[in-house]
Structure 1
Amino acid sequence: MADDDMPVIDPRGPQLVYMVVADHIAKQIEDGRLQPGARLMGELEMASVYGIARMTVARAVRELRERGLVITVRGKGTFVADRPAD
């Protein structure tokens, strides 16, 4: 995830870390940098990129699934969901 606008993650700050990560990925989807069908990097790689625990990444991905922005296919990975027709 080569991204110039990486969020500032402060575990002691008022924002929930998983929400900061989920919002960052959601913004990339909204901006079109992550297209429908694009595969997100794996949890371990994402944890390394963001400098957070894998369980925190898992919670961020769950948040994105709950928002309907991504789907996870067991054994294949997590992908940006198709956008609903307007």
Structure 2
Amino acid sequence: MDKINPDSPQYVYEQLASILEAKITSGEYPPGTRLPGELAMTHHYGVGPGTVRRALAILRDAGLVVTRPARGSFVADEPPGERPSP
């Protein structure tokens, strides 16, 4: 599912985070891949920039995405479940 459902009881930013997570876990966005920019996602999904930022924050908190200032957001090199323990 690549569409935001405005009638869903789930928040739009949560829907977007779920869409991006599915693309990451399916391999459509492999590790190290730069995600589309905020502006591109706002146009593609028909959402505001704050919604994109909140969705990316969810993915960062889950360890799926890293954001580098002035470079963008990238899929984490190692998914959270595959990191070696210290």
TM-score category (smaller protein): 0.7 to 0.9
Deviation >4 Å, runs of 4+: none
- Counterpart code for 2:14: M
The 5-angstrom pairing of residues 49-64 of structure 1 reads 49-64=44-59
TM-score normalized by structure 1?
0.86
SS in 2 for 1:14: coil
SS in 2 for 1:75: coil
Contact 2:33–2:75 (Cα < 8 Å) also in 1 = yes
Kindly provide the CA deviation profile for residues 41-81 of structure 1, in whole angstroms up to 9, marking residues without a partner as x.
11111011000011100100001000100000001110000
Q: Aligned to 2:2, which of 6, 24, 27? A: 6
Task: Give the deviation of 1:6 after TM superposition.
Answer: 1.2
> What are structure 2's unaligned runs of at least 5 residues?
none
Kindly provide the CA deviation profile for residues 9-37 of structure 1, in whole angstroms up to 9, marking residues without a partner as x.
21x53111001000111011111111000
SS in 2 for 1:58: helix
Contact 2:4–2:12 (Cα < 8 Å) also in 1 = no
Alignment root-mean-square deviation, CA? 1.4
Q: Aligned to 1:67, which of 62, 66, 86? A: 62
1:22 aligns with: 17
CA separation in 1, counterparts of 2:73 and 2:2? 20
CA separation in 1, counterparts of 2:27 and 2:2? 16
TM-score normalized by structure 2?
0.86
1 or 2, which has the higher helix percentage?
2
